[in-house]
Amino acid sequence: MDVNLNFKSAAEAKKFSDTLKWPELKSAWILLGILAVVFILGFIFLPALVAFIEGGLLMVTGGISFALIYRAAKSERAGRLEKSELANILLGLDDALVVYDHDFNILFFNPAAENLFKTKSEDIVGQKFQPQDVGNESKKLLAQVIFSSLAPTVISRSRVGEYPQIVDISFTDPELELRVSTIPVRGELNELLGFMKIIRDRTREISLIKSKGEFLTVASHQLRTPVTDINWALQSLASDESLNENAKTIVETALTAGRNLFQVVEDLLDVAKIEEGHFGYKFEQVDIVQFINEVLGTVMPMSERAGIKIYFEKPKNDLPQPFIDRTKLSRALDNLIENSVRYNTENGEVIVRVEKVSDGPFLEISVKDTGIGIAPADIDNLFKKFYRASNAVKTQTEGTGLGLYIVKNIVQAHGGKIWVDSEPGRGSVFHFTIATDINSVPQHEMALEE
């Protein structure tokens, strides 16, 4: 019997040859060998007709068996290759990766984890970790990462039950800044098998941020004194009654520019403190309605001059008291309301609301305006440093682009988040949340990423 194998190329022929050599096909070749022996014995010892029928049946059986074994082998081989590729990816990660089961037995420990924790995979895999391992010097760091509540300083933590669970941890001995992301590992039936921790060493990154912040602080302080002196001199000059109208106009223009420059310096100083993690928060429990009324009292004169009406829609029911830093959060809310006044339309309105969030220990405060709105392309960048929306620049040429960046970080320091809903020409609604449970407020300030 001639078998014609027409291969289009040598590579195709080699691929076929390599396939036949798969170790997963070993059982198929053994089966075919047995069938071949039975076939030969049949022709020797059985009558010709019976042997012929037997041979046909053996060929059909062999073909079907080989096809089934080949399909299973192909699937098994694909699974092995996939697992091998995944293992290579995990082994090559720059971030440390630790996998453990629900009994805290270590299952996987990649090379980056070996470097970070100064221990070999073979010495760790298979070991069971317990909270008391923090007393063992060789296991201390890894135990504090696995049981993060035992770490010396937890900077921030995701909400309980939220995955990936992200925890920022700071160590002093050795000096380390780690971000630990925890992801549950589940089986085919969604049963919990264990957890995977991805540990990112942010020590150098945080050091660079702090160095930049220190430089910014020094530079801003050096500017602050001369700018203050210049403004004082200009104020004295502006009060000089001997100046003619032209000279007075020039002095007042210079004084306005000096005040704007002073505000830029103040904002830069605050940004430096925020990014170094040294903004200095002092939390207390407050009556939120009374707090908002106090903030509105400070911005009312500005809104009246601009012809913009501000309304406060008070909640019908009593609200839980949040934990806030009065000075810092007042600045954030003041900034949002002032922006709503500044970028509003003629005879426009601003509506401030506060309500309880239904799915957590938070209050949501919103500031709605009838202003110029924000383009979709600008919304993603709105809370970034030095960014100003394109239509805002056309409406108000002055501005540092730091206000909303500072607001965002103040809100985050209160355990909340901030976002905006807006369309060009149809106004904007800025929303932010603040915590009513002190456990939802970050325990420590932290140096921030860009």
Question: pLDDT tens string for the chain (450 positions)?
Answer: 444 445 455 655 565 455 555 565 566 556 556 656 666 665 666 566 555 665 566 566 656 665 655 566 566 655 565 555 555 555 667 889 999 998 999 998 988 999 999 999 899 999 999 999 999 988 999 999 999 889 988 887 877 778 888 889 988 877 899 999 999 988 878 888 899 999 999 888 877 777 776 777 777 777 777 888 888 888 888 888 888 888 888 888 888 888 878 888 888 888 888 887 778 899 999 999 999 999 999 999 999 999 999 999 999 889 999 999 999 999 999 999 999 999 999 999 999 999 999 888 999 999 999 999 998 888 888 998 888 887 777 766 567 788 899 999 999 999 999 999 998 989 999 999 999 998 888 877 765 554
Per DSSP, the residues of 154-217 read EEEEPPTT-SSEEEEEEEETTEEEEEEEEEEEE-TTS-EEEEEEEEEE-HHHHHHHHHHHHHHH
Residue whose token pair is 């809104």? 303
- Kindly report the number of other CB atoms within 10 A of residue 129's CB atom: 21
Query: What is the structure's pLDDT at 337?
Result: 96
pLDDT of residue 450: 47
Which amino acid, 91?
Answer: L
Taken in order 294, 296, 301, 302, the sign of the CA dihedral is positive
Kindly give the pairing relationship between strand 165-172 and strand 153-157: antiparallel
Contact of 338 with 396, CB cutoff 8 Å: no
Using alpha carbons, select from 117, 162, 181, 121 the residue that is nearest to residue 143: 117
Contact assessment for residue 228 and residue 262, using Cβ atoms and an 8 Å cutoff: yes
Q: Look up residue 438 and give its DSSP letter.
A: G
Q: How far apart are CA 66 and CA 76, in angstroms?
A: 15
Q: Where are the alpha helices (H) located in 307-402, listed in sequence order?
A: 326-342, 376-379, 390-395
User: Cα–Cα distance between 388 and 394 in angstroms, integer?
Assistant: 10
Q: Are 158 and 360 in contact (CB under 8 A)?
A: no
pLDDT of the residue at 7: 47
Residue type, 327: T
Q: What b/e readout covers 85-104, taking b as 16+ CB neighbours within 10 angstroms? A: eeeeebeeeeebbbbbeeeb
Q: What is the dihedral of CA 339, 342, 346, 350, to 10 degrees?
A: 30
Would you put residue 37 in left (φ > 0), alpha (ψ -120 to 50) or beta?
alpha
Q: What is the pTM of this model?
A: 0.59
Q: Pairing relation of β-strands 362-369 and 418-422? A: unpaired
Is 217 in contact with 272 (CB distance < 8 Å)? Answer: yes
What is the spatial distance between Cα 197 and Cα 195, in angstroms, rounded to a whole number? 7
In angstroms, the CA 382 to CA 388 distance is 7
Q: Cβ contacts of residue 257 below 8 Å, gap of 6+?
A: none
Distant-in-sequence, close-in-space partners of 225: CB < 8 Å, separation ≥ 6: none
Phi, psi of 368 (to 5 degrees): -110, 135
Q: What are phi and psi of 10, to 5 degrees?
A: -65, -35
What is residue 390's predicted lDDT score, i.e. its pLDDT? 76
**Do residues 272 and 209 touch, judged by C-beta distance below 8 A?**
no
CA proximity to 357, closest of 276, 259, 433: 433
Q: What is the pLDDT of residue 26?
A: 62
| Integer Cα distance of 29 and 315 in angstroms | 79
**Long-range contact pairs involving 134-142 (C-beta distance under 8 Å, separation at least 24):** 141/117, 141/171, 141/176, 142/98, 142/117
Angstrom distance (rounded) from CA 285 to CA 308: 31
List, in sequence order, the alpha helices (H) in 190-325: 203-238, 245-276, 288-306
Give residue 227's identity as a one-letter amino acid code: V
